[in-house]
Amino acid sequence: MSTDDFLARFGASGTSRPDPVAAAQQAMRTSLPARFYKEGGVLTRDGLFHVALDGRTALTPARRPLAVATRAVAEALAAEWQAQGERIDPARMPLTRLVNSAIDGVADQEEAVRAEIVRYAGSDALCYRAGEPEALVARQNQIWQPILNGIEALVGARFLLAEGVVFAQQPEGTLAAIARQVAAIPAPLALAGVHAVMTLTGSAILALALAKGQIDADAAWDAAHLDEDYQTGIWGSDEEAAERRALRRREFDAAVLLLAKG
């Protein structure tokens, strides 16, 4: 079974049962394909590092070679495949899913992806500040403003800030300056990584600051969850929310690897 075969099967519906929740859980378990290889590794061919399953290059869902230009990314991909148990669970393979999307999607829609990043910057989360309470306002200014200042210095333009949810139209010159920075991001892997970081954090500014080495991954993640952490400090944590956040962090870490090494 090829990689596209098992990815296509993931999520297929199972047999109906009286209890819809139980049916969904059973469908998820039974739709996962059995592991069809013994060893996941890396081989070098044609100047690229290929993910190899029992010595044969793995394929993306579009049947392209699962191959990248850097060994670090290839080894991380191979580790995801090797870590699978008796059944293959794509939910536990965030890097493979992201690289598949880069090879099969971003590579063919590069300009559209770059344009979306610029659009995000036009309504970036870091530009929308709370009016109250005072403690949250102070925390946003303390954490977000230095990051925003760094990007403004990088692009040579200023962002407009807004309070609450009132839309603030960013200057065309600012977005043009952001577009020039985005145009320099290598495609498809690094570009896919930046786009994924942006969607996971809700901020193109954070993604660019991370890509340019102005902040590290933990700083970007903490800045993105500043409001959430503030509320948690008041109301306490929620177990389901914590689990969802842990899953997003794994997706985020995979995107950061592509951003840095792609």
* DSSP secondary structure letter of residue 215: S
Q: Decide: 55 and 78 in contact? Cβ < 8 Å.
A: no
Residue labelled with tokens 């994924």: 196
Which tens digits make up the pLDDT trace of 43-84?
Answer: 999 999 999 999 999 999 999 999 999 999 999 999 999 999
What's the confidence (pLDDT) of residue 15? 36
Q: Where are the domains of the chain?
A: 3-90, 108-261
What's the confidence (pLDDT) of residue 237? 85
* DSSP secondary structure letter of residue 39: -
What's the confidence (pLDDT) of residue 174? 98
What's the confidence (pLDDT) of residue 165? 82
Q: What is the largest CA-CA distance in the chain?
A: 61
Which tens digits make up the pLDDT trace of 152-204?
Answer: 999 999 999 999 888 999 999 999 999 999 999 999 999 999 999 999 999 99
- How far apart CA 25 and CA 39 sit, in angstroms, is 28
Q: Determine phi and psi for 102, rounding to 5 degrees.
A: -65, -45
What's the confidence (pLDDT) of residue 7? 43
When pLDDT is cut at 50, 70 and 90, the band that residue 3 belongs to is: very low
What mean pLDDT is predicted for residues 201-219? Answer: 98
Query: Which runs of consecutive H residues, i.e. helices, occur in the chain?
Result: 3-9, 20-31, 71-82, 94-104, 110-121, 134-155, 172-183, 189-201, 204-211, 217-224, 226-235, 239-261
Give ∠ CA 51-53-56 in degrees, rounded to 5: 85
Q: Is the pLDDT of residue 88 over 70?
A: yes
Which tens digits make up the pLDDT trace of 102-123?
Answer: 999 999 999 999 999 999 999 9
When pLDDT is cut at 50, 70 and 90, the band that residue 262 belongs to is: confident
| Topology, domain 108-261 | ATP12-like fold (1.10.3580)
- How far apart CA 94 and CA 184 sit, in angstroms, is 25
Architecture category of domain 3-90 in CATH: 2-Layer Sandwich (3.30)
Which tens digits make up the pLDDT trace of 14-42?
Answer: 333 445 444 445 555 558 999 999 999 99
Q: Which of 200, 198, 212 is nearest to 244 (CA)?
A: 200
* DSSP secondary structure letter of residue 41: E
What's the confidence (pLDDT) of residue 29? 54
When pLDDT is cut at 50, 70 and 90, the band that residue 126 belongs to is: very high
User: pTM score, two decimals?
Assistant: 0.87
